[in-house]
């Protein structure tokens, strides 16, 4: 066990010694992305381990240690971490936890504090917790989010977005069942190996690799019979994590739908852009603006590569450019709405409708404050702008049952299927 | 032939159509959750009726039909969609369909953009809710309908969930409100819930059709809808069968009926629900358990042969009335335990009459009353003492276990528990809002399944696989149960699961314990629900400790009251309680009036008794009772309200700006008022909040789970529009002022961005100007420049220089306003100290000053003789300190600072107001509690919502005062 060192405020630090010998557990969100992302850290000498546990015990553990009125993602994330620590699988003297912290005005910024409280309640306060954030909160001697890490992390997100998109647009139509998943696994393994070696994240490498990936997916034999196209938006955790949304993607697949989840890169761009918007709206440092703007441009250049590579295969619908998505909400909701998913959530709904994914599941934890505004609060306006939008808002929490959620989604799908068959009729004429 | 089956949460509806779509068969029956059996029987019936039909077009619909459809391969049609299909065919020209079912509520907008809405995870405002309310009133749903026709007035009842409504209705009953008025109020609550929850900003107009059970059976409910929507809706023939008919229409595959019957019969549920260890592994284990608990019994003596002093204790609880007669040595002489069918007065009268008949020479030395109906019963029968429930229970628990550390009482609709520290009640947990109703939930569920509560709970004792239902509000549990049934759980498993769930709710939702050690080792459990062995066992299992359950577990409140009466009685005292003669002449009349002494407009129930004595219930303050002068001079909330209303409406050469008076405007109004008047604008503010104002904007609320203060904003903006104001100023503000108390200075997401919701959902703003730009008052230097640019988008001719000057004045006024409030607060503190008054720091957000939001809690506290100040007075004294949470919201940072300050003051206590649905307060409440408890202070939290009854609040406050010895 490494020596435990605390900072002035009494926070347990993650030391350099720990970096050498500790396993870093982090909770699941988007499986493809997080598998790749974890390996970015491995190259830099950390020992990350993504938790892939599922099952009702996770929520139960969370409910036991976290205030039950807190948002559902906090209950699940903390539940998953503590459940892992209590599983006996890890040497508690050689394990630390890693969790992201956005630092926005939403209560999600408090997850790390809730996690520490929960650890204390569970008698696990000797386990160090690392905050992964871009705001300079909570520094640790043994952990630093350096520029090379950030650069590679953005690369990993680009790969994740690409694989997720290609998978979602191929799998529903594949002729040989299982082929798409196998391809995703193949490329995930490939990328994991590359990133472990510190390779694969230069712009040139990204472009080359993405081309190969796209080409591979193009070669999957498909039969593109028209299916109901469903977009999924929402609070980032319940949007991506099957643990949070009761396996929403699988359910939609079982209902014979094609799913589109807007990528994580646009969320990252949104979070960076917020810093620019803040300065534009309220004033602020010009230097900060320039620095942030540079990061923004870098991310956008990767976005261009991603979109261009996917465009090369006309059968795939590429993501929209961030700036285009952003332009869709002009006059709908202000760019100052930045807490949680903020205006981006509204924008993604409009973007999906524009791309032909007019049937939308808007997911949020029960009582999610930002989504009262940018999710449920904007549905009426979106329908005013484009009445093709067929949106259902679904709340997720430990008490909501799958039956009710699926029944509501089925209602949305019934309307969607009717429209789909009308469309087919028009095609026939 | 076409067959449509609609399997709902409580009923199965079936229609059979011939090839010309004529009805040839229909049926409507309750399935008592025996879905597979009922379904099989139904198909068999159809087959025997139409023996020559081998095949039919068959489809299943309904919320409980998904599972069976999936596994038998019979096509499923989503029920709302089915209803729509049917309406389109049978009633073309319909604009809106409102359908209420057992647990579902739906609105279908058919014209001008198809939209279908159904309730989310909340079963409030549905048939189940109406049934629950009817049983609370002890009438059948049909009787409820008839009752409502004789209404005279409507009370405000929250219908978000049955639990809320119960907390509204029970005090009304206890205060003697008329049943017809309550019945009508229940329907009106359902209407309001449907409109607020489902219309979500879309107007309900045109040709309206009512469908589903509740709307078919209750004409009063239809009338309530008609009234609220200013229209006359139609309830068509076959209104119960629309979903089934729609399913029949949608059926597109011929199905072999014999095969379908067979596959339903063979339908084997999966059996993969998650479950817990059994309560008792064997009958022997159960017997040992019974033996252990039977040892904890109170002494009893025969009433008839008893000679000596007697003490009467009465517990007029929410769903039951309990009364005991106790001898001088504590032995129980006589007891009654009766369901409270609404009005406890006649029950107690009967109890006393029978007591005097049985023992005419009884020597009652003293009597005490506790429970919800305490005041009414006490004044009706001239009982000597009133005692808050928590103290009554503690007194009783002590008599069984003198060094008791923790008492938990699960009653009909509430959980009360508290810790004992140094011989005083230290830490009270009452169930808030959504987890109450636990005991009665078991009962409701038992009834729904055709069992008596006793039978039902016994079923679970030896269940092999108790369903794991988690810890959650009981209303939501209903659907968890449905899911478990779908997955093949037996009634036994469900019964045991529900007992476990009640316990988990208490432990993890109310007490929020993480380990059994937290409760201590000496635990007394009581309340009617613990008479249930399954619940008791589940509790011991869950906390891993053996506990004491007195054999009078259900009577502990009454017994405690009797003990209290004995303790209080002076030697030789004779109780003032009505004697046999007075009782014979006893009369009780109830009148309902509205108090006009202040803005709360309390609905008072005036109870008059035979000798002209009066009891007034429903009041929030003492004024209607004592006619005393207002105690506003020791109420900083009242001072803030007065101060804000001193900014008078003005006119200006540049036009009038309307400001909605809610959320952060409660604090920033002086700022914006000064800013705009200095720029030569006139300023109009929306009126003081009221229920009517809320209802006026209710239709435009898109998210029904947002906090009440935010929902009120719709009413405020609508009020400004109705006043003819063309320009409304309500800016978005990510950031608030930085008071240097925290790591950041955000507003919460709702306060920050609610203007966006107003702009996107209030159609009445069309043609008006809503200025909802993002402003940053936290950057004093940049603000004028940015604000000038914003104003230039709406007005011409305003110069930057003007804006600078106006901004300077606005900042100065804001500072002066806060300084004034703080100074006044200090004066009140000094005065309180001079008069030796308790100081209550009523903490929340600035907008909790709104009387419609705090429901007069400030006045209630002053009525106890205390002085009320707010958190911002104290936070100004404090510096930034490290917190165990991310301290990033301006208003919330004040809470922590105030808690720190209160911790150092022996004569101050903090009471935190929390709005239901406030996600941020899940974080702040824990931290504030932590700060106070670390310093040996009592933490008191009050959850507020649309509900306007103060019963639970009073218990908390009285317990607080009792605990601190005031």
In this prediction, residue A103 has a pLDDT band, given cuts at 50, 70 and 90, of low
Query: How many C-beta atoms surround the C-beta of residue A141 within 10 A?
Result: 14
Cα dihedral sign for B419, B420, B422, B426? Answer: positive
pLDDT above 60 for B801: yes
Assess B790–A contact: CB distance below 8 Å, yes or no: no
In this prediction, residue B472 has a pLDDT band, given cuts at 50, 70 and 90, of low
Name every chain B residue with its beta carbon within 8 A of the beta carbon of A344.
Answer: none
Task: Measure the CA angle with vertex B638, ends B635 and B644; round to 5°.
Answer: 140
Residue A368 and residue B470: Cβ atoms within 8 Å? no
Name every chain A residue with its beta carbon within 8 A of the beta carbon of B699.
Answer: none
Q: What part of B 498-557 touches A (C-beta under 8 Å)? A: 508-509, 512, 514-515
Residue B756 and residue A398: Cβ atoms within 8 Å? no
Q: What part of B 881-920 touches A (C-beta under 8 Å)? A: 882, 884-886, 888-889, 917, 919-920
* Within-domain flag for A274: no
| Residue A173 shares a structural domain with residue A100 | no
Q: What is the pLDDT of residues B534-571, one digit of tens each?
A: 989 988 988 888 899 998 888 999 999 999 999 999 88
In this prediction, residue B959 has a pLDDT band, given cuts at 50, 70 and 90, of confident
Residue A110 and residue B885: Cβ atoms within 8 Å? yes
Give the HSE-up count for residue B245: Cα atoms under 13 Å, Cβ half-sphere.
23
**Which one is predicted more confidently, A266 or B915?**
A266
pLDDT above 60 for B79: yes
> Could you tell me if A422 and A271 are in contact, meaning their C-beta atoms sit under 8 angstroms apart?
no
C-alpha span between B759 and B58 (Å, rounded): 47
C-alpha span between B279 and B290 (Å, rounded): 13
Cα dihedral sign for B847, B852, B854, B859? Answer: positive
Name every chain A residue with its beta carbon within 8 A of the beta carbon of B747.
Answer: 105
Residue A282 and residue B778: Cβ atoms within 8 Å? yes
Residue B200 and residue A112: Cβ atoms within 8 Å? no
Nearest CA in chain B to A408: B118
Instruction: Enter the tokens of residue A43.
Output: 């190259």
pLDDT of residue B180: 92
Alpha carbon B38 to its chain's center: 35
Measured in angstroms, the CA of B427 and the nearest CA of chain A are apart by 17
Q: What is the pLDDT of residues A305-346, one digit of tens each?
A: 999 999 999 999 999 999 999 999 999 999 999 998 999 999
Look at residues A168, A189, A222 and tell me which one is the last residue of a structural domain: A222
Best residue in B61, B703, B750, B892 for a mutation probing chain A (most A CBs within 10 Å): B703
C-alpha span between B500 and A193 (Å, rounded): 48
Q: CA–CA distance from A191 to each of A198, A206, A274, B143, B413 (Å)?
A: 10, 10, 30, 70, 57
C-alpha span between B569 and B966 (Å, rounded): 20
Q: What part of B 195-254 touches A (C-beta under 8 Å)? A: 200-202
C-alpha span between B625 and B619 (Å, rounded): 8
Measured in angstroms, the CA of B106 and the nearest CA of chain A are apart by 11
Of B121, B746, B773, the CB nearest to A395: B121
Kindly compute the dihedral angle of the four CA atoms of residues B493, B498, B499, B505, in this order, to the nearest 10 degrees: 140
Query: How many C-beta atoms surround the C-beta of residue A144 within 10 A?
Result: 11
Mean pLDDT taken over chain B: 86
C-alpha span between B834 and B812 (Å, rounded): 33
CATH label of the domain that carries residue A136: 3.40.50
| Residue A123 shares a structural domain with residue A251 | no
Assign A11 to helix, strand or coil: coil
Confirm or reject CATH 3.30.420.40 for domain B407-547, answering yes or no: yes
* Within-domain flag for A277: no
pLDDT of residue B614: 83
Residue B750 and residue A399: Cβ atoms within 8 Å? no
Of A336, A400, A410, the CB nearest to B78: A410
Assess B780–A contact: CB distance below 8 Å, yes or no: no
In this prediction, residue B745 has a pLDDT band, given cuts at 50, 70 and 90, of very high
pLDDT above 90 for B841: yes
C-alpha span between B924 and B145 (Å, rounded): 44
Of B79, B200, B750, the CB nearest to A380: B200
Q: CA–CA distance from B472 to each of A43, B434, B481, B531, B587 (Å)?
A: 44, 8, 12, 22, 44
Residue A105 and residue B888: Cβ atoms within 8 Å? yes
* Within-domain flag for A315: no
Instruction: Enter the tokens of residue B347.
Output: 């029950």
Assess B734–A contact: CB distance below 8 Å, yes or no: yes
In this prediction, residue B29 has a pLDDT band, given cuts at 50, 70 and 90, of confident
> Could you tell me if B15 and B25 are in contact, meaning their C-beta atoms sit under 8 angstroms apart?
yes
Mean pLDDT of B686-692: 90
Question: What ranges make up the beta strands (E) of B342-423?
Answer: 363-370, 385-386, 406-410, 415-421
Q: What is the pLDDT of residues B504-522, one digit of tens each?
A: 777 776 676 656 567 788 8
Nearest CA in chain A to B486: A403
> Could you tell me if A213 and A164 are in contact, meaning their C-beta atoms sit under 8 angstroms apart?
no
For the segment(s) B1-91+238-268, the CATH number from 3.40.190.10, 3.30.420.40, 3.10.20.520, 3.40.50.300 is 3.30.420.40
Of B114, B749, B779, the CB nearest to A283: B779
Assess B781–A contact: CB distance below 8 Å, yes or no: yes
Q: What part of B 120-139 touches A (C-beta under 8 Å)? A: 120-121
In this prediction, residue B939 has a pLDDT band, given cuts at 50, 70 and 90, of confident
**Residue in B101, B21, B57 with CA at minimum distance from that of residue B250:** B57
Query: 3-state SS of B726-768?
Result: CEEECCECCECCCCCCCCCCECCHHHHHHHHHHHHHCHHHCCC
Q: What are residue B132's DSSP bridge partners? A: none
ipTM of this predicted complex? 0.92
> Could you tell me if B9 and B66 are in contact, meaning their C-beta atoms sit under 8 angstroms apart?
no
Residue B754 and residue A60: Cβ atoms within 8 Å? no
* Within-domain flag for A279: no
C-alpha span between B461 and A97 (Å, rounded): 42
Best residue in A373, A405, A417 for a mutation probing chain B (most B CBs within 10 Å): A373
Nearest CA in chain A to B504: A64
> Could you tell me if B873 and B895 are in contact, meaning their C-beta atoms sit under 8 angstroms apart?
no
Nearest CA in chain A to B710: A372
Q: What is the DSSP letter of B508?
A: I
In this prediction, residue B424 has a pLDDT band, given cuts at 50, 70 and 90, of confident
Q: What is the pLDDT of residues B87-123, one digit of tens each?
A: 989 999 999 999 988 777 888 888 876 777 777 655 5
pLDDT above 80 for A93: yes
Mean pLDDT taken over chain A: 91
Q: What part of B 659-718 touches A (C-beta under 8 Å)? A: 702-703, 705-706, 710
Name every chain A residue with its beta carbon within 8 A of the beta carbon of B479.
Answer: 401, 403-404
C-alpha span between B844 and B858 (Å, rounded): 12
Identity of the highest mean pLDDT range in A65-74, B20-29, B150-159: B20-29
| Residue A165 shares a structural domain with residue A254 | no
Look at residues A143, A160, A177 and tell me which one is the last residue of a structural domain: A143
Best residue in A57, A110, A124 for a mutation probing chain B (most B CBs within 10 Å): A110
pLDDT of residue B413: 65
| Residue A344 shares a structural domain with residue A254 | yes
Q: Which residue carries 């604090």 as its tokens?
A: B667
Cα dihedral sign for A30, A32, A33, A38? Answer: positive
Fold that domain B309-401+559-584 belongs to in CATH: Nucleotidyltransferase; domain 5 (3.30.420)
Residue B81 and residue A64: Cβ atoms within 8 Å? no
Instruction: Enter the tokens of residue B282.
Output: 């064997």
Residue A107 and residue B919: Cβ atoms within 8 Å? yes
In this prediction, residue B434 has a pLDDT band, given cuts at 50, 70 and 90, of very low
* Within-domain flag for A313: no
Q: What is the DSSP letter of A97?
A: E
Assign B420 to helix, strand or coil: strand
Query: How many C-beta atoms surround the C-beta of residue B16 within 10 A?
Result: 23
Look at residues A117, A143, A169 and tell me which one is the last residue of a structural domain: A143
C-alpha span between B813 and A205 (Å, rounded): 60
* Within-domain flag for A126: yes
pLDDT above 80 for A13: yes
Residue A282 and residue B81: Cβ atoms within 8 Å? no
**Which one is predicted more confidently, B268 or A244?**
A244
% chain B with pLDDT above 70: 91
Residues of chain B with CATH 3.30.420.40: 1-91+238-268, 309-401+559-584, 407-547
pLDDT of residue B113: 67
Name every chain B residue with its beta carbon within 8 A of the beta carbon of A86.
Answer: none
pLDDT above 90 for B652: yes
List all residues 6 or more positions away from B595 whose beta carbon is below 8 Å from its beta carbon. B601, B602, B603, B604, B619, B623, B624
Residue A403 and residue B479: Cβ atoms within 8 Å? yes
List all residues 6 or more positions away from B8 whose beta carbon is below 8 Å from its beta carbon. B62, B63, B64, B79, B101, B102, B104, B243
Q: What is the pLDDT of residues A18-29, one digit of tens each?
A: 999 999 999 999
Cα dihedral sign for A168, A170, A173, A177? Answer: negative
Residue A56 and residue B468: Cβ atoms within 8 Å? yes
Mean pLDDT of B439-454: 75
Instruction: Enter the tokens of residue B671.
Output: 């700022």
Residue A381 and residue B750: Cβ atoms within 8 Å? no
pLDDT of residue B320: 81
Best residue in B749, B889, B933 for a mutation probing chain A (most A CBs within 10 Å): B749
C-alpha span between B436 and B458 (Å, rounded): 23
- Measured in Å, how far apart are chain B's first and last C-alpha atoms? 76
Residue A377 and residue B761: Cβ atoms within 8 Å? yes
pLDDT above 70 for B966: no
Of A113, A339, A393, the CB nearest to B885: A113
pLDDT of residue B163: 57
What's the domain range around A364?
226-263+332-429
> Could you tell me if A155 and A210 are in contact, meaning their C-beta atoms sit under 8 angstroms apart?
no
Instruction: Enter the tokens of residue A413.
Output: 């799908």
pLDDT of residue B70: 80
* Within-domain flag for A319: no
**Which one is predicted more confidently, A165 or A414?**
A165
C-alpha span between B525 and B471 (Å, rounded): 19
Full strand arrangement of the beta sheet holding B867-870: B867-870, B839-843, B908-915, B940-944
> Could you tell me if B426 and B419 are in contact, meaning their C-beta atoms sit under 8 angstroms apart?
yes
Of A69, A387, A403, the CB nearest to B486: A403
Residue B760 and residue A377: Cβ atoms within 8 Å? yes
Instruction: Enter the tokens of residue B92.
Output: 């073309």
Of B786, B886, B919, the CB nearest to A369: B919
Q: What is the DSSP letter of B234?
A: B
Name every chain B residue with its beta carbon within 8 A of the beta carbon of A107.
Answer: 919-920, 922-923
C-alpha span between B788 and B17 (Å, rounded): 70
Of B710, B752, B760, the CB nearest to A105: B752
Of A379, A401, A411, the CB nearest to B78: A411
pLDDT of residue B884: 84
| Residue A130 shares a structural domain with residue A184 | no
> Could you tell me if B79 and B275 are in contact, meaning their C-beta atoms sit under 8 angstroms apart?
no
Q: Which residue carries 């002590």 as its tokens?
A: B398
* Within-domain flag for A306: no
Beta-sheet pairing, B115-118 with B76-77? unpaired
Domain B818-963: which CATH class?
alpha beta
């Amino acid at each position: 066990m490494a020596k435990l060192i605390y900072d002035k405020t009494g926070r347990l630090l993650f030391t350099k010694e720990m970096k050498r010998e500790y396993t870093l557990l982090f909770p699941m969100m988007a499986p493809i992305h997080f598998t790749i992302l974890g390996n970015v850290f491995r190259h830099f000498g950390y020992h990350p381990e993504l938790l892939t546990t599922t099952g009702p015990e996770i929520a139960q553990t969370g409910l036991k240690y976290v205030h039950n009125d807190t948002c559902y993602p906090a209950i699940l994330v903390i539940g998953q971490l503590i459940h892992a620590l209590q599983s006996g699988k890890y040497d508690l003297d050689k394990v630390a936890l890693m969790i992201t912290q956005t630092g926005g005005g939403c209560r999600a910024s408090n997850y790390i504090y809730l996690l520490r409280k929960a650890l204390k309640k569970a008698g696990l306060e000797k386990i160090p917790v690392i905050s992964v954030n871009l705001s300079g909160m909570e520094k640790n001697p043994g952990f630093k989010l350096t520029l090379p890490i950030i650069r590679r992390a953005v690369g990993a997100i680009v790969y994740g977005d690409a694989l997720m998109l290609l998978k979602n647009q191929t799998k529903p139509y594949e002729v040989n069942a299982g082929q798409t998943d196998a391809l995703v696994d193949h490329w995930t393994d490939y990328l994991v190996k590359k990133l472990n070696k510190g390779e694969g994240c230069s712009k040139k490498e990204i472009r080359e690799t993405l081309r190969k990936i796209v080409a591979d997916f193009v070669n999957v034999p498909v039969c593109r019979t028209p299916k109901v196209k469903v977009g999924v938006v929402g609070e980032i955790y319940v949007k991506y994590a099957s643990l949070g949304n009761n396996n929403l993607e699988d359910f939609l697949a079982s209902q014979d739908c094609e799913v589109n989840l807007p990528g994580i890169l646009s969320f990252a761009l949104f979070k960076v852009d917020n810093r620019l918007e803040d300065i534009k709206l309220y004033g602020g440092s010009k230097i900060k603006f320039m620095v942030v703007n540079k990061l923004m441009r870098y991310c956008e250049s990767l976005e261009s590569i991603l979109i261009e590579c996917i465009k090369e295969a006309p059968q795939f619908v590429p993501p929209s450019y961030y700036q285009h998505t952003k332009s869709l909400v002009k006059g709908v909701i202000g760019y100052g709405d930045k807490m949680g998913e903020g205006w981006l959530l509204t924008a993604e709904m409009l973007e999906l409708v524009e791309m032909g994914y007019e049937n939308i599941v808007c997911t949020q934890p029960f009582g999610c404050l930002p989504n009262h505004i940018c999710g449920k609060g904007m549905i009426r306006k979106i329908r005013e702008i484009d009445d093709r939008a067929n949106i259902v808002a679904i709340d997720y929490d430990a008490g909501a049952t799958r039956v009710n959620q699926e029944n509501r989604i089925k209602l949305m799908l019934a309307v969607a299927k009717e429209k789909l068959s009308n469309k087919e009729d028009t095609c026939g004429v | 032939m076409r067959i449509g089956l609609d399997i709902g949460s409580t009923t199965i509806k079936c229609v059979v159509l011939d090839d010309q779509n004529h009805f040839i068969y229909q049926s409507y029956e309750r399935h008592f959750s025996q879905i597979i059996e009922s379904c099989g029987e139904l198909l068999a019936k159809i087959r025997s009726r139409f023996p020559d039909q081998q095949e039919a077009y068959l489809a299943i619909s309904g919320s409980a039909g998904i599972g069976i459809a999936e596994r038998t391969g019979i096509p499923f049609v989503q029920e709302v969609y089915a209803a729509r299909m049917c309406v389109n065919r049978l009633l073309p020209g319909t604009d809106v369909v409102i359908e209420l079912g057992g647990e579902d509520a739906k609105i279908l907008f058919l014209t001008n953009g198809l939209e279908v809405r159904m309730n989310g995870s909340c079963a409030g405002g549905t048939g189940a809710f109406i049934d629950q309310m009817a049983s609370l009133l002890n009438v059948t749903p049909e009787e409820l309908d008839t009752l409502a026709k004789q209404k005279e007035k409507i009370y405000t009842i929250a219908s978000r969930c049955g639990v809320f409504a119960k907390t509204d209705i029970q005090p009304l009953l206890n205060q003697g409100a008329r049943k017809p008025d309550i019945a009508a109020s229940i329907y009106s609550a359902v209407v309001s819930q449907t409109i607020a929850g489902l219309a979500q900003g879309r107007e309900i107009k045109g040709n309206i059709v009512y469908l589903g059970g509740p709307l078919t059976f209750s004409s009063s409910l239809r009338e309530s809808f008609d009234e609220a929507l200013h229209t006359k809706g139609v309830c068509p023939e076959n209104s119960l069968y629309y979903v089934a008919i729609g399913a029949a229409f949608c059926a597109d595959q011929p199905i072999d009926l014999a095969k379908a019957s067979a596959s339903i019969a063979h339908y084997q549920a999966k059996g993969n629900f998650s479950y817990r260890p059994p309560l008792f592994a064997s009958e022997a284990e159960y017997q040992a358990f019974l033996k252990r608990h039977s040892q904890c019994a109170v002494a009893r003596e025969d009433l008839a042969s008893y000679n000596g002093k007697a003490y009467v204790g009465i517990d007029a609880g929410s769903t039951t009335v309990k009364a005991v007669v106790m001898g001088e040595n504590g032995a129980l002489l006589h007891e009654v335990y009766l369901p409270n069918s609404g009005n406890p007065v006649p029950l107690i009268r009967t109890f006393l009459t029978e007591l005097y008949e049985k023992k005419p020479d009884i020597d009652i030395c003293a009597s005490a009353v506790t429970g919800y109906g305490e005041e009414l019963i006490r004044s009706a029968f001239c009982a000597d003492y009133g005692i808050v429930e928590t103290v009554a229970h503690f007194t009783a628990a002590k008599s069984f276990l003198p060094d008791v550390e923790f008492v938990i009482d699960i009653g009909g609709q509430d959980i009360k528990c508290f810790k004992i520290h140094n011989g005083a009640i230290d830490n009270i947990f009452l169930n808030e809002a959504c987890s109450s109703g636990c005991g009665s939930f078991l009962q409701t569920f038992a009834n729904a399944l055709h069992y008596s509560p006793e039978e039902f709970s016994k079923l679970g004792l030896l269940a092999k696989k108790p369903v794991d239902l988690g810890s959650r509000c009981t209303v939501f549990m209903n659907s968890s149960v449905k899911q478990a049934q779908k997955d093949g759980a037996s009634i036994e498993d469900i019964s045991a699961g529900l007992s476990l769930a009640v316990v988990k709710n208490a432990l993890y939702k109310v007490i929020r314990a993480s380990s059994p050690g937290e409760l201590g080792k000496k635990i007394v459990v009581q309340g009617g629900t613990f008479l249930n062995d399954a619940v008791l066992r589940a509790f011991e299992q869950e906390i891993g400790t053996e506990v004491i359950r007195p054999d009078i577990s259900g009577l502990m409140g009454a017994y405690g009251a009797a003990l209290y009466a004995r303790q209080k009685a002076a030697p030789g005292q004779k109780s003032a309680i009505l004697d046999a003669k007075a009782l014979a002449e006893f009369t009780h009349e109830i009148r309902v009036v509205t108090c006009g002494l202040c803005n709360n407009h309390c609905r008072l129930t005036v109870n008059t008794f035979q000798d002209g004595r009066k009891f007034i219930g429903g009041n929030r303050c003492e004024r209607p009772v004592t006619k005393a002068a207002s105690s506003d001079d020791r109420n900083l909330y009242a001072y803030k309200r007065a101060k804000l209303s001193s900014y008078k409406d003005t006119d200006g050469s540049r036009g009038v700006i309307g400001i909605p008076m809610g959320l952060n405007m409660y604090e920033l109004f002086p700022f914006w008022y000064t800013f705009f008047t200095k720029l030569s604008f006139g300023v109009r503010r929306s009126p003081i909040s009221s229920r009517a104002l809320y209802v006026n904007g209710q239709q435009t609320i898109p998210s029904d789970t947002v906090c009440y203060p935010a929902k009120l904003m719709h009413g405020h903006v609508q009020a400004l529009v109705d006043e003819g104001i063309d320009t409304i100023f309500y800016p978005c503000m990510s950031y608030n002022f930085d008071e240097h108390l925290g790591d950041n200075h955000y507003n919460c997401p709702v306060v920050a961005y609610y203007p966006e919701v107003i702009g996107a959902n209030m159609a009445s703003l069309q043609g008006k100007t809503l200025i909802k730009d993002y402003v940053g008052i936290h950057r004093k230097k940049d603000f004028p420049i940015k604000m000038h640019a914003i104003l230039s988008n709406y007005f011409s001719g305003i110069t930057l220089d003007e804006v600078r000057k106006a901004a300077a004045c606005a900042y100065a006024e804001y500072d002066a306003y806060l300084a004034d409030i703080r100074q006044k607060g200090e004066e009140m503190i000094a005065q309180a100290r001079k008069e030796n008054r308790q100081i209550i720091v009523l903490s929340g957000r600035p907008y909790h000053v709104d009387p419609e939001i705090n429901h007069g809690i400030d006045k209630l506290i002053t009525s106890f003789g205390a002085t009320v100040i707010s958190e911002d007075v104290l936070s100004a004294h404090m510096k930034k300190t490290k917190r165990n949470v991310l301290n990033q919201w301006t208003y919330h940072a004040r809470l922590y600072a105030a808690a720190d300050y209160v911790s150092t003051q022996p004569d101050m206590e903090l009471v935190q107001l929390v709005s239901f649905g406030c996600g941020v307060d899940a974080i702040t409440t824990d931290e504030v509690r932590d700060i106070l408890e670390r310093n040996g202070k009592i933490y008191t939290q009050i959850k507020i919502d649309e509900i306007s009854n103060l019963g639970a609040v009073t218990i908390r406050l009285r317990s607080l005062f009792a605990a601190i010895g005031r």
